[in-house]
Amino acid sequence: MSAEVTSQVPRAIGLLRSDHPQSRTSVQCVSGLAPRYSSKIDGSCALTRVAPPVPIARHGHLAALKALRVSWPPETGVPSAIIDIGVNLTHRSFASDLPAVLSRARAAGVAHMVVTGTSLSGSTRAVELATAHPGLLSATAGVHPHDAKHWEGDAPARLAKLAERPQVLAIGECGLDFDRDFSPRPVQERCFAAQLELAAMTGLPVFLHERSAHARFVEILAEHRSRLCDAVVHCFTGTKAELHRYLDMDCHIGITGWICDERRGLHLRELVRSIPASRLMIETDAPFLAPRDIKPTPKRNEPALLAHVAAAVAKARGETVEALAASSTATACAFFGLKLAAG
């Protein structure tokens, strides 16, 4: 299996070689470096950079110190490496069979997964998981609006401390959820604004959640946007006007298996066509949102089903799944400051 990499980034900085015993082709993954590169891996895993180069400064010095390693042994029939930018692997439903879940994900082409942190304790567990699976997993650190009611005392300081861990690639998930209202709205807003401030201070991108709160969400985000590097509205399910507002604010968009939901996600099949490839990333949000067009629909979603989401998004955009995989992977690398390289 051949591999070719070109990079304008000094490869000596933080690069670690894969030593995975089954690795036929390794993909090394280093965060915090400007992803000015192009890669070809065996012709079947071609990564083409679609986003403009990201200045190192945008990701800040903290991120620049972070190094990860991804080993990537694509198995027969896997067309392209894909990255699940949002997966809740600390959820109790994965407690008994996580190793099997991870190996199914790898077999399905998932080269890397970003484990979502939704509370202080959950973010700590996400970092622990990422530490236990270097290269395959990384983490976000944040407090979901559902959990904002616990944003008190030393919580901000503890989150800031956690964000220093090298496994943490983004602040979040954070935002507003006026659909469930599990935390009082003023508390959600304070918690959201504080995490945007933390992202600005650390230079890390933000992983955003918004449900039934678009107007207020945009107001708060707009107050901080110029000081943030990148921001992704994860699991976007909104309207055309909302999508374009986010794109106008230079946000990235995360698309989940919601697009496979014939009851409430069909509008996304039209909307994803207008998202530039350099802003579009894919995620499962597992164990939630199992694609409903899989029959019978699994009770639990898992990252291996990202390939199904990729196929659905590619079909809606009129692209091949290989093209969608390549562009969304390149976009995720640029967003999180990851660098894929074959070795």
> Which helix or strand (DSSP H or E) is residue 216 part of?
helix 214-224
Binding piece for Zn ion, criterion CB under 5 A, among 8-16, 76-84, 202-210, 250-258: 202-210
Considering only 51-59, 182-190, 204-212, 309-317, which stretch makes contact with Zn ion by CB under 5 A? 204-212
Nearer to Zn ion, 209 or 308 (CB): 209
DSSP H or E segment with residue 268: helix 266-271
Task: Choose the binding region for Zn ion from 55-63, 207-215, 243-251, 327-335 (rule: CB under 5 A).
Answer: 207-215
| Residue carrying the six token digits 């490869």 | 11
| DSSP letter, residue 245 | H
Q: Which is nearer to Zn ion, 5 or 332 (CB)?
A: 332
Q: Is 209 in the site for Zn ion (CB under 5 A)?
A: yes
Do residues 118 and 147 make contact, with C-beta atoms less than 8 angstroms apart? yes
Nearest of 202, 154, 198, 203 to residue 174 by alpha carbon: 198
Residue at shortest CB range from Zn ion: 209
Residue 204 structure tokens: 């890390």
- At residue 112, the 3 state secondary structure works out as strand
Q: Which positions ≥6 away from 123 have C-beta within 8 Å?
A: 117, 139, 140, 141, 142, 143, 159, 162, 168
CB of 177 vs Zn ion, minimal distance in Å: 8
Residue 146 binds Zn ion, judged by CB under 5 A: no
Min dist. Cβ of residue 96 to Zn ion (A)? 24
Smallest distance, Zn ion to C-beta of residue 35, A: 26
Whichever of 180 and 273 has its CB closer to Zn ion, that residue is 180
Which residue stretch of 53-61, 146-154, 201-209, 256-264 sits at the interface with Zn ion (rule: CB under 5 A)?
201-209
Write out the residues near Zn ion by the rule CB under 5 A.
Answer: 209
